Amino acid sequence: MRSARPVGLLLSAAAVVLWAIGMTVLQPLTEPIGPWSENLPGNNAYWARDLRFLAIMAVAAGLMLAGRGQLRWSQPAVLLGGLWVAADIAIDRVDPTGVAATVLLAVSGCAVLAALAAVLCWRDRATPPARPPARARKALTGTACVAGVLTVVAVGMESPTDREPELNQGALATAALLVVLAVGAALAAAPARSRARVGLAAGLAMTALIGVALVRAVPPGPRLLPEVALGAVLLTGVTFVAWDWPGGRPIWWHHALAALAALVGPMVFLLATAIPIMILLPIGATFTALAGNSPINGADSDVLISLFGLLSGLAMSLLLARPTVDNRR
């Protein structure tokens, strides 16, 4: 897909802006007032942190799309994401607020992104990438699967009160960006940009974006089933867009199995990763302490749902990132 590079870089830049807004506008809303124990935050208190981490993951996914699945782009993208999380924690300790801080962080982040992209583009011109197309397609399909699962995580983001309009706005914007990334990566992984695939990708994007708005309109309690349905539709659609169509049409039973995996897999993997990590490795509490924020009160848990979403997305990519018929066999 010729437009993969500019589209991927544009989406990464949009994710940088979302991250900057999350740091300077949303994060202060989650900070408790006073050091007293009765003001310690509860479950999902640091929802702004999760939205920022999802935006950082979107930056990396956009770079992978821009690199069309090539390893020389994917490795720096993952490294940048890890360094960005470390920088996020350090910046969170400073507690930046205001329009000037938002602009400074957004411009600085875009400058880092532009510098890395310039270096990688120069490397591509100097020595054209030699990664086999099949492996690049698999990497792009995996990126689409991860972005699809992260969409479900973003749209289901909660807070202790769930009455903050900024939470709805941030969750909607982040989920919408991840939908576009998922569909864009799936289309870039397709063997050819036929009219049918482009139309299918456009329909999938519109359906998923409408689904994001509808799911977000549901109260937190009964939101689980619509979330599962949205994830199933988006991930199944990714397979229709990205996978081979032998003879010009999909292998329907392959996609039926993919739909079953997409319906059950994300939530199963979320629970399978969340429960052991919460018990054995309190990473959320560690990040909270490093950022200098108040700890979650003892009756609740400091859960880093964005990390669990990433692990679940990687697990789903192992199941669904098989775009060629030979891989699926």
List, for residues 27-79, the tens digit of each pLDDT value: 998 876 555 444 667 778 889 999 999 999 999 999 999 999 998 899 999 99
Which among 90, 89, 88 has a CA at the least distance from the CA of 20?
A: 88
Average pLDDT over every residue of 124-144: 81
pLDDT at res. 32:
67
Which structure tokens are listed for 81? 């994401």
pLDDT band at 137; cut points 50, 70, 90: very high
Lowest model confidence (mean pLDDT) among 7-16, 158-167, 250-259: 158-167
CA 36/CA 212 separation, integer angstroms: 38
pLDDT for the residue numbered 125? 82
pLDDT of residue 105: 97
In the structure, what pLDDT confidence band is assigned to residue 97 with cuts at 50, 70 and 90?
very high
For residue 291 the two structure tokens come to 């950022």
> At residue 186, what are phi and psi to the nearest 5 degrees?
-65, -40
- Which residues are CB-contacts of 53 (< 8 A; sequence separation ≥ 6)? 85, 88, 304, 306, 307
132 — pLDDT class (breaks 50, 70, 90): low
| Per-residue pLDDT tens digits for 184-209 | 999 999 988 788 899 999 999 999 99
Helix axes 133-155 and 165-189, enclosed angle (nearest 10): 160
Between CA 121 and CA 85 the distance in angstroms is: 24
Helices 252-280, 133-155: axis angle to 10 degrees equals 60
Give the residue with greater pLDDT, 311 vs 300. 311
Q: What is the pTM (predicted TM-score) of this model?
A: 0.94
In whole angstroms, give the CA distance from residue 13 to residue 328: 34
What is the mean predicted confidence (pLDDT) over 73-101? 95
Average pLDDT, the chain: 90
Q: What confidence score (pLDDT) does residue 131 get?
A: 56
The CA distance from 227 to 214, in Å, is 10
Residues 98/149, Cβ–Cβ less than 8 Å: no
Is residue 68 a contact partner of residue 188, using CB atoms and an 8 Å limit? yes
d(CA 219, CA 13): 31
d(CA 286, CA 265): 28
With 0-12 / 13-18 / 19 or more C-beta atoms within 10 angstroms meaning exposed / middle / buried, residue 14 is: buried
Nearest to 121, CA basis, from 73, 161, 80: 73
Residue 1: the pLDDT is 63
pLDDT in tens, 252-310: 899 999 999 999 999 999 999 888 888 788 888 889 889 888 888 766 778 899 999 99
Question: What confidence tier does 247 reach under pLDDT thresholds 50, 70, 90?
Answer: confident
